[in-house]
Amino acid sequence: MHPAFSILFFTTLAGAAQGLVFALALAVLFGLELAPGFLGLALGVAEVLLAAGLAASFMHLGRKTRAWRAVLMWRTSWMSREVIVLPAFIALVALWWLSLRAGLGAPWSWLLPLLALGGALLLWYCTAMIYACLRFIEEWAHPLTIVNFTLIGLSSGLVLACAMAALAGEARFLQVFGPFALAATLAAWAARATALRRNAGIRHKSTLQSATGIRTQKLVQKSMGMSAGSFNTREFFHGASLAVLGNMKLGFLLLAFVLPAFLLAWGLTVGGALPWVLAALVQAPGLLAERWFFFAQARHPQNLYYQVVS
């Protein structure tokens, strides 16, 4: 597939925001003492990330003014469900932020974080199912897709939360969630590596023979039926060389998982704000590279029909 930057930015930005909200909600629900200023600021950062993600997702649409229609088919379409859950999650986080500003007590002080927690999980599930439900894109059609969207979002959100906590001097938050951030990053690394291993071993069900029904051993395409490209050649091919693909894989494993894990371990043992902030800065491009590779690695069966120009 051709990785669309609108979706890369949307899924990574929203994923990090979800992880951030998830961490803050857990902290509040478990009665961790947070400075109100820090909680409000962190929720504000999550809202900015979500708004940027929403804007990026709009860039993916050919007809942006009709976007509201995408809520209609929630009975059958995972994209429709995501389009409903995303604004609902944004609204929940905004309500939580407002309730802090207004100084509302129970039940809002625990109900809103709890709802935000559920919203974050639901949004990860909806986003991942958009890809995991396409049964013939075999790299995606697996529960690991859901695990990875969730764990990578969790890792990036926790790393971001810890970096902000380190800058704001929230020592208690760092003490509790620092190890969580490291654990989530290591778990995301393990799950993504498992998915990479699985994808490397896929024997695709569709072949040129099943695509055309021509049952000879040797079958080659001589012409895809056009002399220059079409939507089919633009949308479903990444156009990058094998070397780029390999470097991207190595790059995202290093930047999104390995380096942040080392930096987090450094932060946990030595202390100081620098390692946490560095971890968040290093991970950001790694997340984009990971999502790029997620799309580029997926081999759509339609590509069988579009192999040779002549």
Partner 1 sequence: MMQWLRDLMTSAPVLPPPPLGEGRGGGIGGATGSLVALKAGVPPPQPSPRGGGSNATQRAEQGETLAKQLALVIDLNVCVGCHACVTSCKQWNTSGSAGPLADERPYAANPTGTFFNRVQIYEAGAFPATETIHFPKSCLHCEDPPCVPVCPTGASYKRKEDGIVLVDYDKCIGCKYCAWACPYGARELDEERQVMTKCTLCVDRIHDEQLPKEDRKPACVKACPTGARLFGDVKDPDSEVSKAIRERGGYQLMPEWETNPANRYLPRRITSSTQELE
x/- track of binding to partner 1 for residues 258-297 (CB under 8 A): ----------------------------------------
Q: How far is the CB of 6 from partner 1 (least distance, A)?
A: 10
Q: Is 87 in the site for partner 1 (CB under 8 A)?
A: no
**With respect to partner 1, which residue has the nearer C-beta, 56 or 174?**
56
| Residue 202 near partner 1 by CB under 8 A | no
Q: Name the residue type at position 121.
A: L
Q: Choose, by CB under 8 A, the member of 63, 103, 203, 239 that binds partner 1.
A: 63
For residue 8, give the amino acid letter: L
Among 75, 106, 200, 201, binds partner 1 (CB under 8 A): 75
**Contacts (Cβ under 8 Å, ≥6 apart) of 76:** none
Element at 51 (helix H, strand E):
helix 36-59
**Site for partner 1 contains 70 (CB under 8 A):** yes
Nearer to partner 1, 122 or 255 (CB): 122
231-237 contact pairs (CB < 8 A, 24+): 232/302, 232/305, 232/306, 233/306, 234/2, 235/1, 235/2, 236/1, 236/2, 236/300, 236/302, 236/303, 236/306, 237/2, 237/303, 237/306
- Of 22, 47, 55, 269, the residue nearest 156 (C-alpha): 22
Does residue 299 interact with partner 1 by CB under 8 A? no
- Interacting residues with partner 1 (CB under 8 A): 1, 60-64, 66-80, 83, 130, 133-137, 205-206, 208, 210-214, 216, 218-232, 235-236, 300-303, 305-306, 310
